[in-house]
Amino acid sequence: MKLRTSIERSIGAVLATAIVIAPLHAWDTNVAKKQIRHVVILFQENVSFDHYFGTYPHALNLQGEPAFMALPGTPTVAGYDDELLTRNPNYLNPKNGAGRSNPFRLSREQAATADQDHGYGAEQQAFDGGKMDLFPASVGHPDGPRVVGEHPGVLATSGLTMGYFDGNTVTAYWNYAQHYAMSDHHFDVIFGPSTPGAINLASGQTNGVVNDQNAEGGMLPDGNGGFTMISDPNPINDLCSSTSDALVHMTGRNIGDLLTEANISWGFFQGGFDLRVVNPDGSTGCRRNSTSAWTKVRARDYVPHHEPFQYYQSTANPKHMRPSSPQAVGTNHDGGANHQYDTHDFFDAVKAGNFPTISYLKAAAYQNGHAGNSSPLDEQQWIVSVINFLEQQPEWDHTVVIIAYDDSDGWYDHLKAKTANGSATATDSLDEPGKCGDGAGALPGVKPETKHAQGRCGPGPRLPLLVISPWAKANYVDHTVTDQASIIRFIEDLYLDGKRLGGGSFDAQSGSLLGMFDFSKKMPQNAGKLLLDPDTGLVQAGK
């Protein structure tokens, strides 16, 4: 297996040290506005870049696993080189104890793994001042007895965080990367778990959280009397939030507010949101649940803290009201659903000839990729089925699919971005105890008087990002430093004349996704369809 050289690795590290502005193009944004009529964001759970793409495009191709062979001319990524695989700083650091380990390959049969720690403070500690060498000690969790195979010793320790998959397991993702565009410099806006990542997708701003019940442990003082979210409290008033949960709501504005005001159709579609549906096992309502085919874990389909728009009064649908019809889905007159729906509502609407301009799709928990209750293979089933459906729609030539993630789950990734927003609280420890960054480039909070909102240390860990569209560059790796708020910026640039949310949102400084596209011709240059097998991720038809 030929991996990157140390020189290539150094280039990758340099690229990550500052925001890389996308190059100028022969086309302007007006061309993109004309050609892209639908943006579909598939927002998945808890994966670092190296966890899925560390050895891309080189797969081991063991017998019995779906084979992957890179296309000629496939570019390399800022992934693992030989030194990272054999003399990794996490292996050399004795502070990792029994978990000290080099990165190691998880086989397809080992797709079901334990959830890692991905707390705001713990992830910073894993970075160890940029040495990236304390992952097992800070965020690693051992696996249970169900996962056996090549590395049973490592799997039973905190060294599990060093495990990665290759194109024999995350086969669909590697095939999408081969034929469309991917980023190897896309990061979490800040450190921390699912809800901050989801909120950053909606607003690029985790400041302005209000404690409604028992949420003190998941909030940090912002330095001006307000608070910043760093954990996973549930949204207040959501019918499916337990009365014993930590409950909060968010202030400030989100991208949904701007879309609604501009009368642009949009919706957030999450599995399990429709409380009338009865699953085959008889479960329904907020307790509707499903079992992962790989982890064998039963989990509720709908997870309240994964639904960012439920935290804002302006975009919430607390009682899970149903849209009046498929034709009304996404509109400002949807019967009281307020743009919040179940995933089946998306498919119902598209089949009825109503394809919203902006659609956020969130899989039910068993297919969202979150280690512990889901797996890469459960996730693949969902992702491929959605994209196969979209590629067969008449509007495919005017559609963009973005696959993105909320956080890294604590899985090891070796690349650190230059700190864009610092913080100095007792929970911060990126550079030293109580310190993240030097204060340069500080972002304000929701309230204008909050000149520097503490509790927003970032960017956090590197995450996967794929862009799938006839307008995406083929077999292309983008090195522009981006984050979840770059998706907000993309929507703002295409549909809102570049209007920004303000209030300290990262959207104003996040890198652009437009470098991943080619609008230089009147017709898309990547128009061939790519239909994959949901089980294997292998190409079924096209390309």
At 346-370, the pLDDT tens digits run 999 999 999 999 999 999 999 999 9
Question: What rounded mean pLDDT belongs to the chain?
Answer: 92
Q: Which residues contact 375 (CB under 8 A, 6 or more apart)?
A: 111, 112, 113, 292, 294, 295, 369
What is the count of structural domains for the chain? 1
Q: Which residues contact 311 (CB under 8 A, 6 or more apart)?
A: 199, 202, 235, 248, 249, 250
CA dist 208 and 115 (Å) reads: 29
Residue pLDDT, tens place only, 291-327: 999 999 999 999 999 999 999 999 999 999 999 999 9
Residue pLDDT, tens place only, 219-248: 999 999 999 999 999 999 999 999 889 999
Q: What is the DSSP string of 280-340?
A: TTS-BGGG-EEE-TTT--EEES--GGG-GGGGSTTT--TT-PPPS-GGGTTSS-SSS-TTE
pLDDT for 10: 41
Q: Rounded to the nearest 5 degrees, what angle is found at the Cα of 28, between the Cα atoms of 22 and 33?
A: 105
Domain that holds residue 60: 6-526
In a domain, 538, yes or no: no
pLDDT for 455: 96
pLDDT for 26: 52
Q: Rounded to the nearest 5 degrees, what angle is found at the Cα of 477, between the Cα atoms of 476 and 479?
A: 140
pLDDT for 24: 44
pLDDT category at 27 given cuts 50, 70, 90 is low
Query: Cβ distance 470 to 524 under 8 Å?
Result: yes
Measured from the Cβ of residue 234, the count of other Cβ atoms closer than 10 Å reads 23
CA dist 349 and 351 (Å) reads: 5
Bridge partners, 539 (sequence order): 532
> Largest Cα–Cα distance of the chain, in whole Å?
61
Find the radius of gyration of the CA atoms of the chain: 22
In a domain, 120, yes or no: yes
In a domain, 537, yes or no: no
Bridge partners, 542 (sequence order): 530
In a domain, 533, yes or no: no
Query: What is the SS3 assignment for 221?
Result: strand
- What is the length of the chain? 543
CA dist 79 and 102 (Å) reads: 14
- The CATH code of the domain that includes 462 is 3.40.720.10
* DSSP-assigned letter for residue 532: E
In a domain, 242, yes or no: yes
Amino acid at 214: N
| Nearest Cα to Cα of residue 169 among 84, 86, 302, 55 | 55
Place of tokens 């459960």: 378
CA dist 249 and 542 (Å) reads: 46
pLDDT for 391: 97
In a domain, 532, yes or no: no
In a domain, 1, yes or no: no
Residue pLDDT, tens place only, 454-477: 999 999 999 999 999 999 999 999
Amino acid at 108: R
Q: What is the DSSP string of 192-219?
A: S-HHHHHHHHHTS--B-EEEEES-GGGE
Mean per-residue pLDDT, 484-503:
96
Mean per-residue pLDDT, 373-397:
97
In a domain, 536, yes or no: no
pTM score: 0.94
